[in-house]
Amino acid sequence: MIATSPATATAQGDPCWNRICWRAPGVRCAVAETLLLWPGAAALLISPHHGQPPLSPTAIGPVSVLISNAGITRDALSPTMREEDFTDVIETNLVGSFRMAKAVSKSMISAKWGRIVFISSIMGFLGSPGQANYASSKAGMLGLTRSLAWELGSRNVTVNMVTPGLIETDMIDAVTDKRRDQLLSQTPLRRTGTVQEVANVVKFLASDDASYVTGAAVPIGGGIGMGQ
C-alpha cells in the first residue's frame, strides 16, 4: 500500500518514490505491506491511537492519495486448493484494499479532495487456471471501486482501478514458459509490460489531470483482454 499526505518532511528512501510519488515539497510517501492484513492496522498506520506507538515510522496523518497495490498468490487448481489459501488471498488482496480505503476516506471527505487507485489484474476479468482465489479477489475490486466512486464522488474524491496484464515483477517468476507464451499470444503488443508503465498510468489517475475520471477500470496490458 502506498499513501501520500501533506507533511512537514519530504519522503526519502521509499522504493515507490521514483515510480509513483512525484517530487513535491512537503509531501510524504509511506509504503506499508503486511501491516495492513488485520483489522485496525490500517487505521493505526494513518492515525496512531493515543498512547500507542505507530505501526510504522512513516505514520503520516491524513492521506490525500492511496495506491492500494498489496497482492499475493496461492495458486492451485480449485479441487485441490486449501480453503485457507483461498481466504488468505481474498483477505489480503480485496479485504485489505477495503480496509485501507475505509481508513483514508474520512480525511479525504473532510478535505473534499482525494484519490484512490486500486491495482487489480486482467486475470480478474479473464480468469486463470489455478488462480480462482486470485482472480476472484481482483474481480471483486471492480465492485469495490465503483461503489466507492458513487459514495465519495460528491466529496471530490475519485476512485479508480488499473488492470495490468503480464508485468515484469517478482510475481510472475513462477509463471511457466508455456503459460507466459500463452499470455503473450493473447497480447497484441507481444511483450510484457514494465513497472514504470503501470506507474505512469497510476500517477495520472492520482493527479489533478484525472479530476473527471472516476469509477474507471483502466487496462495496462498491451491489449490483452481488450473490451473486458
pLDDT of residue 126 exceeding 80: yes
Distance in angstroms (rounded) separating the CA atoms of residues 159 and 143: 11
Element (H, E) at 89: helix 83-90
> Could you say which of 134, 193, 198, 219 is catalytic?
134
Buried b (16+ CB within 10 A) or exposed e, 141-156: bbebbbebbeebeeee
| β-bridge mates for residue 193, sequence order | 167
CA dist list (Å): 4 to 9, 30, 162: 12, 6, 18
Please confirm, yes or no, whether 212 is among the known catalytic residues.
Answer: no
Nearest to 94 by CA among 51, 146, 135, 126: 135
Check: CB of residue 55 under 8 Å from CB of residue 44. Answer: yes
Fold of 2-220: Rossmann fold (3.40.50)
Distance in angstroms (rounded) separating the CA atoms of residues 197 and 193: 7
Element (H, E) at 6: strand 2-6
Least trusted range by pLDDT, from 11-15, 100-104, 129-133: 11-15
29-71 residue pLDDT tens: 555 554 444 555 555 555 544 454 444 434 566 789 999 988 8
> What residues does each domain of the chain span?
2-220
Q: What percent of the chain has pLDDT over 90?
A: 61
133-151 residue pLDDT tens: 999 999 999 999 999 999 9
Q: Which residues contact 22 (CB under 8 A, 6 or more apart)?
A: 203
